[in-house]
Amino acid sequence: MNFKFQKRRGLGDVITTLIILIASVVLAAGVIFFGGSLFQTNTENEAVRVSNVHIWVSPNGTSSVAGFVVQNTGGKVVSVQKITIRGESVPTGSWWYNNTSTVATATNIQTELTYDGDLHDGVDVRASTAGDEEFTMASGPISLQQGDAMFVYLANPAGIAAIDSGLAFTMNVQAGKASAVESVSVTNG
């Protein structure tokens, strides 16, 4: 018997080891990059929550006010840029807010907002048990730090009048990429 041996050609042991090593480093870097981007996305999201929403119409039916609390529940600073009620944008000149840490406390934002019957530029609504608070008229978007809350009142939003009493409208608060939508009924003050 006569055997012929052929010289095999292929990758050497050193080259094979290098390829396996480089492939594992590239895969590990991809896993680390994906994990890091996933973590950043979850910690730096924009989210707001709206609660304690009311719309009151004055006893004589000539004016109305909406009151609610906005809280930044996301991981970054947001600015409340737009508020709409029943599809109509409320101009910032009708926004009144208080975001001071002594008024917008965890207890106060859970306390039911009350209407005292005297609409004076939309600011005579009680936000806490301490009495009437000072509200500032907005001149543009209002910033909220992480976890902070603010009371917002809207003077005569969307032309709501006495005829709208008992009806429910949709309110949308837009803050950056986040938005919060609530349904609210109109009540007599």
List, for residues 143-156, the tens digit of each pLDDT value. Answer: 999 999 999 989 88
> Can you name the CATH fold of 48-188?
Immunoglobulin-like (2.60.40)
**180: which 2 tokens?**
């919060």
Mean of the per-residue pLDDT values of the chain: 83
CA distance 105 to 116: 21
| Residue 119 in this model has a pLDDT that exceeds 60 | no
Candidates 66, 74, 82, 89; CA nearest to 140 is 82
* pLDDT > 70 fraction of the chain, expressed in percent and rounded: 80
Contact partners, residue 39, CB within 8 Å, separation at least 6: none
Give 140's DSSP letter.
Answer: S
Between 119 and 87, the higher pLDDT residue: 87
pLDDT tens profile 23-82: 999 998 888 888 777 666 555 688 999 999 999 998 787 888 899 999 999 888 999 999
Structure confidence at residue 45 (pLDDT) = 82
Structure confidence at residue 8 (pLDDT) = 64
Structure confidence at residue 30 (pLDDT) = 86
Per-state percent for the chain, helix, strand, coil, to nearest 5? 25, 35, 40
Q: Where are the domains of the chain?
A: 11-43, 48-188
CA distance 124 to 153: 9
74, 177 Cβ separation under 8 angstroms? no
| Residue 126 in this model has a pLDDT that exceeds 60 | no
Q: Where are the beta strands (DSSP E) in 94-167?
A: 95-98, 114-115, 125-126, 136-137, 142-144, 149-155
pTM: 0.72
